Amino acid sequence: MLRKALTAALAALAVAGHAYAEETITVAHLLDPSHDAAFWAINNGKVSEPGIRIEAKGLAIPALIQSTVTKKYDVVQTAVMAIPRAKSKGLDLKVLATGLRSHNKEHGGDIWVRKDSPIQSADDLKGKKIGVYSLNSTGITLVRIALWKKYGHNVSFQGGDSEWVQVPAPTIPAALSSDQIDAGTLIHAQAYKAMKSGEFRSVVPAAKINVEIFGMPTVAAVYVGYPDKLEERPEAFKAFTRLFKASVQYALDNPDEVFTAVGKAKDIDPDFFREWFATFSQIPAAVSDGDILAMQKVWEFSTEMGILQEYPNAGDVIWEHAIRE
């Protein structure tokens, strides 16, 4: 009798333990100090919810692309352009949150040259070699749209007005300095350093141009999940969206704490983060109607350019439980 009672008690404890077991959501985001700041509050326990653990890891762009396809992570920051491409190959993605929305003054989408370069304008880029971090990324697609719509350039990779070459992101500044390329796109921290050092200068403010072309801030990256995983653990993914938004807000509300800590860890001036969040990009950690329209527009332009053959309705790829603005 005593043994039966003990067995029943242990079984009840096992069930209770299972019910309150901590769930883990794994997240892959862009390897850049700005994104480390966005996830700092999560990684350091400043924002949390019972029963949920977020494991966030920064990856370079090629690794993010690969991770999107392999489904290695529960949530992946991926390019807006990846959504129709994945769908064409039978992989459905659902947008949980907007990851990068432009500012009117954004510098992350500029085309840069050396300070002493003879290139002075967009038209001077004709016949020149432009180094980019990922030929098929949304960010570079947006740069091409700016050159096409604003300046009338033929931005085709084959037979276009300029030669587009893919260069590993960390090496683009060195490639510019050594004349391996004539112009290049710089990722966020690189663009900040270029502004401060004066070593490079911008000749095409693509992000600002695209706000005019699109009539709204553009969206380059989103955080996506997979329908099967979302259906299996919807509450865990809802918790992720809440914690992600809270983590970004914590950084904005506590800049001295967060920016100083991340700046020290990444050996970068804390003022970078103040500048980045104010003028480079926004990390909404939510989805607005404008974001959906911006996604739709970049797919429409891309189809017109021959980059895409088809694309879904942007509203249909938003997860039903995404936080809306």
Q: How much is the pLDDT for 5?
A: 44
Give, to the nearest 10 degrees, the angle between helix 255-266 and helix 33-43: 120
Produce one character per residue of 83-113: b if its CB has 16 or more CB atoms within 10 Å, e if not: bbbbeeeeeebbbbbbbbbbbeebbbbbbbb
Q: Do 95 and 29 reside in the same domain of the chain? A: yes
Whole-number pLDDT of residue 21 = 66
In this predicted model, what pLDDT tens digit does every residue of 65-103 receive, in sequence order? 889 999 999 999 999 999 999 999 999 999 999 999 998
Question: Is residue 80 domain-shared with residue 146, that is, in the same domain?
Answer: no
Residue from 283, 295, 318 nearest 79 by CA:
295
Q: What is the CATH number of the domain that holds 121?
A: 3.40.190.10
pLDDT for res 134? 87
Which residues, other chains included, contact 253 with Cβ-Cβ below 8 Å and sequence gap of 6+? none
Identify the pLDDT of residue 13. Answer: 39
Inside any domain, residue 322: no
What are the structure tokens assigned to 125, written together?
């880029």
pLDDT given for residue 34 in this prediction? 93
- Does residue 193 lie in a domain region? yes
* Cα atoms found within 13 Å of the Cα of residue 92, Cβ hemisphere only: 13
pTM of the predicted structure, to 2 decimals: 0.87
**pLDDT averaged over every residue in the chain:** 91
The pair of three-digit structure tokens given for residue 39, joined into one six-digit string:
């996830």
pLDDT at residue 228, as a whole number: 97
Q: Residue ranges of the chain with pLDDT lower than 70?
A: 1-21, 104-108
For residue 170, the tally of other CB atoms under 10 A from its CB is 12
> What tokens were used for 92?
């459905």
For 226-280, the pLDDT digits (tens) are 999 999 999 999 999 999 999 999 999 999 999 999 999 999 999 999 999 998 8
Q: Which of 40, 29, 28 is nearest to 251 (CA)?
A: 40
Nearest partner of 134 among 211, 70, 60, judged by Cα: 60
The pLDDT value recorded for residue 12 is 43
| Inter-axis angle of helices 234-253 and 33-43, nearest 10 | 110
Question: What's the pLDDT score for residue 3?
Answer: 45
Q: Which of 157, 190, 214 is the C-terminal boundary of a domain?
A: 214
The β-bridge relationship of strands 183-185 and 75-79 is unpaired
Residues 9 and 34 in one domain: yes
Domain finish residue from 154, 184, 214: 214
Structural domain span for residue 146: 111-214
- Is residue 42 in some structural domain? yes
Q: State how many domains the chain has.
A: 2
Nearest-5° Cα angle at 73, 67 to 77: 65
Left (φ > 0), alpha (ψ -120 to 50) or beta: where does 187 sit? beta
